[in-house]
Structure 1
Amino acid sequence: MRDPADLYELTGDALRVPEGLHLVAGLTGFADAGGAVSQFNEYLLDRLDSTVVATFDADVLLDYRARRPIIYFDQDHLTNYQASTLRLYLATDEIGQPFLFLAGFEPDFRWEQFTAAVLELVLRFKVASTTWVHAIPMPVPHTRPIGVTVSGNRSDLIETMSVWRPHTQVPSNVLHLVEYRLSASGATVVGFVLLVPHYLADTEFPSTALSALESTSAATGLIFPTDHLREQNREFVARIDEQVAENPELGKLVGTLEARYDAYMEGSTLRSPLTDEDGELPSADEIAAELEKFLAIRRTKDDGSAS
């Protein structure tokens, strides 16, 4: 295997990283339901003080044809090229606690070399624990808390927080591989998979970012500012609830999801929130169709084109 260090370049600030910090990771690209990871990353980088300590080589790791960077066409010339980045940051939480934050795109290539590079950095900085977040769509209602499936070797978090523990094969992302290798090496690692309402999977649902922050806090003791995000979530949910109240069919579908969710959480014979042997599960398309008008109105307002 190629030298893992070939994939990244340390900055001068790497010399001032304290030993024994928590590493938090969120990589975008695959199945980011509700925009959970992208919102999580953006919120932390916008709200917290941070500095880059390592930059990964995008030209080696990224398939530009599959995920093209954005450039702005200004009438007759090009400007504001937005390069895709994958970086390790030294950040501080709301009360000044430092931690490492790995954020950016999920690599398309060289997973084994990238994973070895992350493990190399974990050893270099004597990382205390690694926590990562991911999000998948599930047939659960937006009126209930975002649940999580917990993996890794933090049995305390698995016992207290993991609401769904399936036996199943899943398409992996690179942080699954990182967790697998860290766990095999005996390092402390935990992954949180957020279970996002499937009919909101293609939106930016603020509740998903809140759940990612809260899960990370539970694993690390880090404190994050969330007031602004909570206000955004209240407004978002209020608009959805308005649509539900005005549409009896949509209300019935959401009510069915609520009943199945509540029965599962109360320990009924349902195998999981995904299944119900006695009835049909409302599809994402059914609910999404009812919400289409609402989302179109929301995008119009966000663009400033509505009166």
Structure 2
Amino acid sequence: MLERISGSLLDPETLYASNPELFRNPEFRGLNLVMGFTGFADAGHVVQQITAELLDTLDSERVAVFDADQLIDYRSRRPHVSFVEDHLQDYQAPTLALYRLVDGLGNPFLFLAGFEPDLQWERFARAVVGIVEKLDVNLVTWIHSIPMPVPHTRPVGVTVHGNRPELIEGISMWKPTVEVPAAVGHILELRLMEAGRNVTGYVIHVPHYLAEAEYPPAAVAGLEYLGAATSLMLPTDRLREAGREVGRQIAEQIVSSEDVQQVVSRLETRYDEKAEGTVRRSLLADENDQLPNGEVLGAAFEAYLARENPGQ
């Protein structure tokens, strides 16, 4: 009796409300699904930029919305609201939704995006796996980003994982065996693989000293990897233009600081040694095969930015 009641109360399908046509319309079946969640290690604001670019640029239709009240801890991650002189407005309610988008060539795909749930990860995973199975999703791809001690003067790196070898082999620049803090995307990937669904995750490497600000080149790289995996034409023009401006600003700051030049030069040397086949555990390792403190690598750059922008 208790098992039956608990199963009813924790029905994963009650986590979201959907367009009635979602599971009946054949046009929604067999599509690719792209996922991105903000709130965890979104270095360079990669997921945030990709989400904005896709939803602002492509034709979209919201087909399912998850219940934020069941999934988010408001007191640990408080939404913003504007106070204007004598009244409140523009409450920014947290949103996690499934969209149907159409790429630049007219190909439809699904996009699950929004905040990373604070609560009920397993129930949320069952809900997403259920949607994937009901819609017979072809391939699930998801993306997030982490800060890495790599130079911005080299191509943006990526680590790929999942159960599609043809999308993984020869792409990952960092292939460690380490224990890392889990994100909800990791749980979804595991549960999707257990359900026999195709899934691939992309971790974009963002230079540590640029991780706190928007770094458009990393978002462009993310869109390119997602587009290549799903055979979709995803928009990157605006982000490329923004990336050129950011690159110009970074170049000006580096020229003005010898300390920053030295930091970047050391990162370039380590990157190039790894690229040439030097035997190291990863791009993180130093000459003694030890992992350096990322804060030390970024300290000079951050100190310079603080001196140049004392009011920020």
TM range (shorter): over 0.9
Question: Quick check: 1:5 aligned with 2:19?
Answer: no
Say if 1:240 and 1:294, in contact at 8 Å, map to a contact too: no
Partner of 2:158: helix, strand, or coil? strand
Aligned to 2:301: 287
Say if 1:263 and 1:270, in contact at 8 Å, map to a contact too: no
Aligned match of 1:171 in 158, 181, 184? Answer: 181
Deviation at 1:27, TM superposition (A): 0.5
One-letter amino acid of the structure 1 residue matched with residue 298 of structure 2: A
Deviation at 1:295, TM superposition (A): 5.9
Question: Quick check: 1:116 aligned with 2:126?
Answer: yes
Deviation at 1:183, TM superposition (A): 1.1
How high is the TM-score relative to the length of structure 2? 0.92
Partner of 1:64: helix, strand, or coil? coil
Counterpart-to-counterpart distance in 1, 2:200 and 2:309: 34
Aligned pairs for 1:119-158 (under 5 A) are: 119-158=129-168
Partner of 1:81: helix, strand, or coil? coil
Aligned pairs for 1:220-299 (under 5 A) are: 220-278=230-288, 282-293=296-307
Counterpart-to-counterpart distance in 1, 2:36 and 2:114: 7
Which residues of structure 2 form unaligned runs of 5+? 1-6
Deviation at 1:294, TM superposition (A): 5.0
Aligned to 1:36: 46
Question: Quick check: 1:200 aligned with 2:190?
Answer: no
Q: Which moved more, 1:111-120 or 1:206-215?
A: 206-215
Partner of 2:119: helix, strand, or coil? coil
Question: Quick check: 1:23 aligned with 2:38?
Answer: no
Deviation at 1:13, TM superposition (A): 4.9
Counterpart-to-counterpart distance in 2, 1:296 and 1:52: 42
Counterpart-to-counterpart distance in 1, 2:129 and 2:16: 13
How high is the TM-score relative to the length of structure 1? 0.93
After superposition, the C-alpha distances for 1:30-60 in whole angstroms (9 at most, x for unaligned) are: 1100101111111111111111111000000
One-letter amino acid of the structure 2 residue matched with residue 275 of structure 1: A
Counterpart-to-counterpart distance in 1, 2:76 and 2:271: 36
| Percent of aligned pairs with the same amino acid | 49
Deviation at 1:29, TM superposition (A): 0.6
Aligned to 1:67: 77
Aligned to 1:94: 104
Partner of 2:81: helix, strand, or coil? strand
Counterpart-to-counterpart distance in 2, 1:295 and 1:164: 34
Closer, same or farther in 2 for the Cα pair 1:270/1:295, shift >3 Å? farther
Say if 2:263 and 2:297, in contact at 8 Å, map to a contact too: no
Say if 1:26 and 1:103, in contact at 8 Å, map to a contact too: yes
Say if 2:53 and 2:235, in contact at 8 Å, map to a contact too: no
Question: Quick check: 1:190 aligned with 2:200?
Answer: yes
Question: Quick check: 1:214 aligned with 2:229?
Answer: no
One-letter amino acid of the structure 2 residue matched with residue 290 of structure 1: Y
| Aligned residue pairs, count | 298
Deviation at 1:216, TM superposition (A): 0.3
Counterpart-to-counterpart distance in 2, 1:134 and 1:230: 19
Q: Which moved more, 1:262-271 or 1:29-38?
A: 262-271
Deviation at 1:234, TM superposition (A): 0.7
Which residues of structure 1 form unaligned runs of 5+? 300-307
Counterpart-to-counterpart distance in 2, 1:79 and 1:101: 29
Counterpart-to-counterpart distance in 2, 1:186 and 1:247: 52
Partner of 2:114: helix, strand, or coil? strand
Say if 1:26 and 1:102, in contact at 8 Å, map to a contact too: yes
Q: Which moved more, 1:273-282 or 1:225-234?
A: 273-282
Aligned CA-pair RMSD: 1.6
